[in-house]
């Protein structure tokens, strides 16, 4: 099998044990004689997977009583409207740190126009192409909730601490889910697509504190009401069975690594190695202006100005070296190495060696 170092932004590299377990489950799920994509989700074999996956989330994140873990379809983008539908009565506050944060604000404004209310942007880094996390902002105490996007996949910035908020804190953690310990009790609601750290595309995870629900005055469509899915155990309708199975296996792998403290240590070491190379290689430079804002998940960098014309050459060279997924997002250009949980130190070392070899030949 061809050796490839995967740096895709999502879908991304998954743990090999999860992939292998998925292959076996496609052949025969738990000795049923049926594939995992053929079996009814109402069987005890499948219900045990749902229960175990919820338990793993609760264990790894130390989720306290009063919270529910939901597995839904539609991607994190669908949650952009779920959140205001369920929580917005008078005012919602948003921190604008990237494309996905901006899109979530847009959906909230639609809900506000439908039922009354407003959306306040507490701060934005849009004017500088989101190259930093805004500082010095204040959360309005009259807001129904305050929404943040913890990691910005396109621009390579990350909020690495759990914010103290005077109002219900809501976080889109799509691209740094399960990459570090999280103090869940500081949040009213956390959501994210699985396809970065916790599984393949197709399932969205929602962690929600029950006491924040049921307080809006406007009508809620059945499927958009979180209480529907709490009551139905994430099976009000047929759940995305195979993505949940792979997530189950991925969570088992995270636990086997030593849990989130160990995962955070590995992620920090990988990121430090790569950022050190970017800072010291004469051909490259980082795109995030404040190093404290640098993402541990998505490392964004470009060519130094005098080497700009060699960008395509480096991409071609990196492919020859076995690198996949390094091309930066079209809105930023340059390069992006997504080094999620399953990306190994060997992968990052190979990328660093590739960068050094290219500089040796071209600088």
User: Catalytic residue numbers?
Assistant: 100, 172, 196
Q: Which residue has the tokens 């040796």?
A: 360
Query: Which is nearest to 175 in space by CA: 148, 205, 153, 206?
Result: 153
Distances (CA, A) of 194 to 175, 176, 258, 310: 8, 10, 20, 35
Q: Up-side HSE of residue 26: CA atoms within 13 Å toward CB?
A: 9
Query: Which is nearest to 169 in space by CA: 141, 197, 205, 135?
Result: 141
Question: Regarding beta strands 5-6 and 323-324, do their DSSP bridges make them parallel or antiparallel, or are they unpaired?
Answer: parallel
Decide: 202 and 73 in contact? Cβ < 8 Å: yes
Q: What is the rounded CA–CA span in Å between residue 291 and residue 296? A: 11
């Amino acid at each position: 099998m061809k050796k490839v170092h995967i740096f895709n932004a999502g879908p991304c590299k998954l743990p090999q044990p999860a992939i292998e377990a998925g292959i076996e489950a496609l052949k025969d799920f738990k000795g049923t004689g049926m594939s995992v994509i053929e079996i009814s989700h109402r069987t005890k074999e499948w219900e045990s997977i749902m229960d175990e996956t919820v338990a793993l989330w609760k264990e790894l994140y130390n989720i306290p009583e009063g919270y529910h873990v939901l597995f839904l379809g539609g991607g994190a983008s669908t949650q952009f409207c779920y959140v205001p539908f369920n929580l917005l009565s008078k005012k919602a506050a948003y921190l604008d740190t990237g494309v996905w944060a901006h899109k979530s604000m847009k959906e909230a404004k639609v809900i506000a126009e439908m039922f009354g209310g407003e959306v306040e942007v507490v701060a934005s880094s849009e004017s500088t192409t989101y190259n930093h996390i805004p500082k010095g902002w204040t959360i309005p105490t009259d807001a129904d909730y305050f929404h943040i996007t913890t990691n910005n996949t396109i621009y390579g910035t990350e909020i690495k601490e759990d914010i103290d908020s005077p109002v219900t804190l809501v976080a889109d953690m799509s691209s740094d889910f399960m990459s570090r310990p999280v103090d869940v009790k500081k949040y009213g609601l956390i959501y994210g697509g699985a396809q970065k750290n916790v599984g393949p595309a197709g399932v969205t995870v929602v962690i929600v504190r029950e006491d924040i629900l049921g307080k809006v005055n406007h009508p809620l469509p059945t499927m958009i009401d979180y209480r529907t899915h709490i009551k139905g155990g994430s099976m009000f309708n047929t759940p995305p069975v195979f993505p949940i199975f792979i997530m189950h296996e991925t969570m088992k792998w995270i636990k086997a690594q030593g849990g989130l403290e160990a995962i955070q240590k590995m992620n920090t070491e990988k990121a430090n190695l790569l950022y050190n190379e970017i800072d010291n290689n004469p051909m490259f430079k980082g795109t995030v202006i404040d190093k404290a804002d640098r993402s541990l998940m998505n490392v964004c960098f470009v060519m130094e100005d005098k080497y700009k014309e060699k960008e395509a050459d480096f991409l071609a060279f990196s492919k020859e070296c076995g690198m996949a997924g390094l091309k930066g997002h079209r809105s930023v250009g340059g390069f992006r190495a997504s080094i999620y949980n399953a990306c190994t130190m060997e992968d990052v070392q190979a990328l660093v060696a590739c960068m050094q070899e290219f500089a040796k030949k071209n600088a």
